[in-house]
Amino acid sequence: MQVIKKINNNAAICLDTANNELVAIGTGIGFPPVPYELENLELIQSTYYGVNPMYLDLLNQIPNEIFQVSGKVVEIFKNKINSSVSSNLVFTLADHINFAIERHKKNVQFENSLQYEIQHLYEDVYEIGLMAVQLIQTNLSIRLPKIEASNIALHLINAESVAQIATKTSHLDDTLEDVVEIIGKHFQMYIDKSTVNYSRFVSHFQYLMKRQQKGKLMNSENSKLYLSVIEEYPDTFNCVNKIKDYLIKEMDFELNDEESLYLILHVNRLCVREDCYRKGITPSQ
């Protein structure tokens, strides 16, 4: 296997014997000067073909251990459901798990209004979500609440459908464009739509729209947390209020406090990372 481009010390873009490009993860494979021939293939922990380049920087943002857990979960999903999925799922699920861990450490929890449907209509996928929570506890020594099993299951269920929604629904495209413009103007910043940060925000916004279309919004007892987040991120709160005004006017869609909290966190996450990239600073996470 030929290593042709370093991503970090433990990840690289490689060519297999048939000259097909792939992403390989393995201890120290990105350390030697590239290009070079990797003879000891036992160093390789996992390989992924056809990964969208926008997801590669997640390898520099998310611990390798989380990618390993994500890879195991996706493999279980593929085998149990007998489904062929894109290699991108390993990357998006790793990002999902990483964010769940970040929220857990900050004691931020969301109720999943689709939990009952997931448990009873997608029993096999929900079981995988439970396995994922157990793998996270075993491999990362982090005990996530049981609700995260439903959240992970929902991510797997939507893995192939989320991107299709945006391409098929021009109205959603227009709404997303307007919301991103609101964010950009509010923070006076350019949001690069080719980055994983933008792709991550799009996915979360699409989930929000899907719940709205089904009339199933988030609902839990996070009022104290909502007030705390407003106090911590007042500028982001003002931005989200502009988005809320737009959604009411254009879609007759009013966000409740729980959905507003969810959106504040994701807008803040997008803008902090975009601001870092704009200034040439590499985010620590």
Mean pLDDT of 22-44: 94
Q: How high is the pLDDT of residue 168?
A: 44
Q: How high is the pLDDT of residue 281?
A: 33
Domain with CATH 2.30.24.10 in the chain: 1-49
Check pLDDT > 70 for residue 25: yes
Average pLDDT, rounded, for the chain: 83
pLDDT tens digits, 72-106 = 999 999 888 776 678 899 999 999 999 999 989 98
Q: How high is the pLDDT of residue 229?
A: 86
Check whether domain 1-49 has CATH 3.40.309.10, yes or no: no
Check whether domain 63-160 has CATH 3.30.1330.40, yes or no: no
pTM beyond 0.75, yes or no? no
SS (H, E, C) the chain: CEEEEEEECCEEEEECCCCCEEEEEECCCCCCCCCEECCCHHHEEEEEECCCHHHCCHHHHCCHHHHHHHHHHHHHHHHHHCCCCCCHHHHHHHHHHHHHHHHHHCCCCCCCCCHHHHHHHCHHHHHHHHHHHHHHHHHHCCCCCCHHHHHHHHHHHHCCCHHHHHHHCHHHHHHHHHHHHHHHHHHCCCCCCCCHHHHHHHHHHHHHHHHHHCCCCCCCCCHHHHHHHHHHCHHHHHHHHHHHHHHHHHHCCCCCHHHHHHHHHHHHHHHHHHHHHHCCCCCCC
Domain with CATH 1.10.1790.10 in the chain: 63-160, 163-278
Q: Rounded to an integer, what distance in angstroms lies between the CA atom of residue 224 and that of residue 241? A: 18
Q: How high is the pLDDT of residue 112?
A: 66
Percentage of residues of the chain with pLDDT beyond 70: 83
| Residue 242: band (very low, low, confident or very high) from pLDDT cuts 50, 70, 90 | very high
| Residue 273: band (very low, low, confident or very high) from pLDDT cuts 50, 70, 90 | low
CATH number (1.10.287.1080, 3.40.720.10, 3.40.640.10, 1.10.1790.10) of 163-278 reads: 1.10.1790.10
Check pLDDT > 60 for residue 160: no
Q: Which residue has the tokens 């056809």?
A: 50
